[in-house]
Amino acid sequence: MRATIHDAVVGASWGFLGTIAGTDTGAGTGTDAAIAAGTDPATAAQSPRMKASIGLALGAALLLSIAAPLVSLDSSEAAARSCYSFWAEADKMGSHYRHIVYVENDCDYWLQCTVWTDVDPQPPTMLTVGPGTTENRETNGSSQYDDPKAFGTCHRK
């Protein structure tokens, strides 16, 4: 259903924006287009301001439909991102390296985290970190790489 609404908004926006810009995106212009569309030619030619207003409204709706999924409205998620950090270290163990990812929690609440490195992205490792503490997990016990980069996500538990 969402794709149908999105397609309708996009199609209508392009049609009205084309009308505003003076380009024809429909069956024609003026009286012939109104008759072909089954509308009254007198009212079709009378409302350029209304077409502009509708075009702007639909353009704004289109912009919001595209931007809304990109912006998280969850403030707790943004707050959680600002109070933790993670990093990776490689410990030399004979001829190989052991990769360890650390998570430091400066939040006032528990975090549930999923961490991985650029060397071993799958499977990610889960850990729970208490407020004001630092926890770590081994992500690889036998690697040839000595400089792993840590990645991860955490959310309030």
Greater pLDDT, 15 or 136: 136
Report the distance separating Cα 115 and Cα 103, nearest Å: 9
Cα separation of 70 and 84, whole Å? 22
Q: Is the pLDDT of residue 71 over 90?
A: no
117 neighbors 125 (Cβ within 8 angstroms): no
The domains found in the chain, sorted by start residue, are 2-70 (no CATH), 75-156 (2.60.40)
What does the pLDDT average to over 136-145? 92
pLDDT-derived band of residue 34, with 50, 70 and 90 as boundaries?
A: low
> 99: which strand partners?
90, 140
Tell me the whole-structure pTM to 2 decimals. 0.51
pLDDT for 109 beyond 90: yes
pLDDT of residue 57: 63
**Strand ranges of the sheet holding 134-143, from the earlier edge strand across to the other edge:** 84-93, 96-105, 134-143
| DSSP code string of 114-143 | EEEESS--SS-EEEEE-TT-EEEEEEEEEE
Summarised one tens digit per residue, pLDDT across range 16-30 is 444 444 444 444 455
Top-confidence residue, 37 or 83: 83
